[in-house]
Amino acid sequence: MQRFSFLALIATVTAGFASAGTMHLHAQTTTTSKAPSQALPAQTTTATTATTLAASTASIIIAKPASDLKPGKASYKITLEASGRKIEATKVTEITDAAKNWKITETSQSPMGSVTDEAEVVKGTLAPVKRRVNQGPMSIVLDYDGNKIKGSVESPMANTKIDKEITGYLFADGTGTSTILATLPFAEGYKATFTNFDMMSQQATQMLVSVVGVEEVSVAAGKFMAYKVEVSFVGSDGVNSTIWISKDGAKVLKERQSIPQMNGAVVTSELQP
């Protein structure tokens, strides 16, 4: 909704690829991958899709945080590789106290400019309350009231209004996705589902988060033992992103995310000192 935490960065670098003639500007507001429901044949009914999703997740728990967020700041070096090109950027994720909520601010800097992606989530449950994205002439405004979502996506190409009520448990939707996922009670074999909102299709997408192992990870910030966590769309064989989260302190150490819409691009981020 990126939905995933890299939406802001992707918006920036996509604009750069667009000017090079390899992408269309409207891709700025796409998600990082298609949900399996979007790839189904037209004759597949909503009821059939819902039944399939329910069956595939029947024995898996719903993602619920085991700990709360804490005020703090983390810096990341980001590399995007696509079509033989490499673009480097930086991102700073900051968590601050906002009364009943936590405010999560991600600021990305790349050769194409800066992006500010802000969100507020309820303390304890980390349920989304609002989100604001600004990158040049593009802006995204989302307000959440339980499972009701209202807002808009505005760019030079088009203005889209959003007014939807979705089914599912909204969690880690948008800004700070990886940071929020790091609050889950990870252990070897852990699996859980949650729901994100796809702004392009304006539909709910069911996500699966799985711990696939424990391994040592070296990043600029140091060497850590980490849970290797995969995030994918329910019903899909592919992995949307892989996140390495420290066993001590729930730090997001590294993330690797694929972007099919950008010719198989891969975005990698690593924690800095």
**Structure token digits, residue 212:** 């696939």
Whether 217 contacts 271, CB under 8 Å = no
What pLDDT, on the 0 to 100 scale, is given for residue 59? Answer: 60
What pLDDT, on the 0 to 100 scale, is given for residue 32? Answer: 36
Per-residue pLDDT of the chain (273 residues; tens, 9 = 90+): 344 444 434 444 443 333 333 222 223 333 333 333 333 333 333 334 444 444 444 468 999 999 999 999 999 999 999 888 899 999 999 999 999 999 999 999 998 889 999 999 999 999 999 999 999 899 999 999 999 999 999 999 889 999 999 998 899 998 999 999 999 999 999 999 999 998 878 899 999 999 999 999 999 999 999 999 999 999 877 778 999 999 988 899 999 998 877 777 899 999 999
Whether 173 contacts 197, CB under 8 Å = yes
Residue ranges per structural domain of the chain: 7-271
Helix (H, G, I), strand (E, B) or coil at 29: helix
**Structure token digits, residue 84:** 């033989």
Q: Are strands 148-154 and 241-246 parallel, antiparallel or unpaired?
A: unpaired
Q: Which amino acid is at 3?
A: R
What pLDDT, on the 0 to 100 scale, is given for residue 239? Answer: 73
Side-chain-facing half-sphere of 65: CA atoms under 13 Å: 22
- 133: closest CA among 152, 149, 146, 150? 152
Whether 226 contacts 218, CB under 8 Å = no
Give Cα 60 to chain centroid, integer Å.
21
- 5: closest CA among 148, 155, 200, 180? 180
What pLDDT, on the 0 to 100 scale, is given for residue 260? Answer: 75
Q: Which residues lie closer than 8 Å to 254 by C-beta, 6 or more apart?
A: 217, 219, 226, 243, 244, 268, 269, 270, 271
Q: What is the pTM of this model?
A: 0.81
27 to 116, 157, 184, 259: CA distances (angstroms): 18, 10, 31, 11
What pLDDT, on the 0 to 100 scale, is given for residue 34? Answer: 39
